[in-house]
A = this chain, B = another copy of it.
Amino acid sequence: MLPHTTLSLDWLYFLQMQHLTTNPNILYFQSGGPTSAINASFLGLVETYRSLGLKGHVYVSRYGVSGLLNGELEEIDLDNPPDITYRPGSYFGSLRLKLEDNPNGEQALAIIDTLKKYHIDFIFPNGGNDSMDTALKLSSLVAHHDLSTKVVGIPKTIDNDLFGCDHTPGFGTAAKYVINATVSVALDDLTYQQGRVNIIETMGRDSGFLAASSKLACLRGVGPDYIYVPEVPFEAESFLPKCKKTYLEKGRCLVVVSEGIRDKQGNLIASSSSKDQFGHHQVGGVSSYLAGLLQQEGLKSRAIELSVLNRASSFLPSNQDIQEAKEVAGEALKAALEGKSACMVCLKRVNDSPYEVSYEAVDIKEIANRVVYLPRKYINEAGDNILDSYIPYCLPLIQGNAVPLGEDGILG
């Protein structure tokens, strides 16, 4: 097997000799929640397709599998792909839909019809762990119906919680926003001798990577006093006196909290009662809840929920993240060309400094519906802050500054 990391004509010749598909029709779709890097992955796929000189058709299913289900795919003009490198949101639309299991059901047959209609050789679902459930079902489905279609997942999620991945495209840009927002809030608060308890709420439904990133504000001398992640049960009883003590000692207190923190019983500290199709509660609002508790104790407190800007902060990109999002999609195409299927291409870290990654296909069964948590080794013993050892992990992922704004000062 030739290595993934370089393109070469020798390698294409090798594929031809193996009678593997060299002019594939490919299908790409976006799934799950958006990130600031997901559209870069689409462009990486197209760029690699072109650079390999492949002569098939590139299709997109709009709104996740919707196009697959209703038989309407959209062909991409390879000479004029949309200019969406830094565009927030999933440009081609997404859908949170759990596919039915029945390989002969209505959904399954509609999908098979579409794949046959467009002669699709490779499918590239671009998504997170829920989306890889969809990818897994698609790969079972094509096998059941004796199609040779390959399914290779392209990772994305700001939560950074995919099995097999050192980190995931989308996380770097989201982490960069968390860090810079934390620095900004901290410096703003220093304006007054008597500050506040500022509670910054990051995204991160199950895993604490994003909240943990705020630790890097310490590189500017303003690291949070407390960081709470979903991996450690949250105790309001100890939270209140801790904040009060810090506030009284320092005249201020900086707390960063993941939206997904839970109590000892595993209940979310704050959430709405509604669930999505994958059974996940809609989260958000815990910072307001905690600020309210502190205000009842007479502490000046403010909740700052990063909310949807946490995943849509394309105006402050990590170019490392954007480049990796492109590369991993190119590697997914090459994996499919090599005959791989039912896998996702993951980023593996070769080295922290100088930072180096490699790409590796991982069995999709290992990834689908599985959450990776922030390792305990990064969390302090008290469970209320992040250790310095997290910095060399996170710092390379936010590198590379860019101005994605137009000349008029507006994104895009």
Contact = CB atoms under 8 A, between A and B. Distances in A.
Interface string A367-406: 0000000000000000000000000000100111111010
A171 interface: no
A399 B395 contact: no
A82 B273 CA distance: 50
Interface in A279-308: 284, 288, 302-305, 307-308
Interface centre among A63, A311, A399, A411 (most CB of B within 10 A): A411
A402 B316 CA distance: 11
A234 B129 CA distance: 44
A179 interface: yes
A181 B316 CA distance: 11
Nearest to A405: B401
Number of copies: 2
A82 to B, nearest CB: 12
A183 interface: yes
Contacts of A63: 192-193
A17 interface: no
B309 A93 contact: no
B410 A220 contact: yes
A181 B176 CA distance: 16
A288 B288 CA distance: 10
A399 B410 contact: no
Given A176-B409, A309-B181, A187 B88 contact: yes
B410 A219 contact: yes
A412 interface: yes
A152 interface: no
Contacts of A284: 302
Contact of A412 (B220, B400, B410): B220
B401 A403 contact: yes
Given A93-B193, A405-B180, A188 B308 contact: yes
Please indicate which of the listed interface residues A179, A180, A311, A313 has the most CB atoms of chain B within 10 Å of its own CB. A180
Given A89-B189, A191-B90, A309 B184 contact: yes
Nearest to A63: B193
A219 B408 contact: yes
B198 A89 contact: no
B405 A188 contact: no
The 3 tightest CB contacts between A and B, nearest first, are: A89-B187, A398-B409, A184-B312
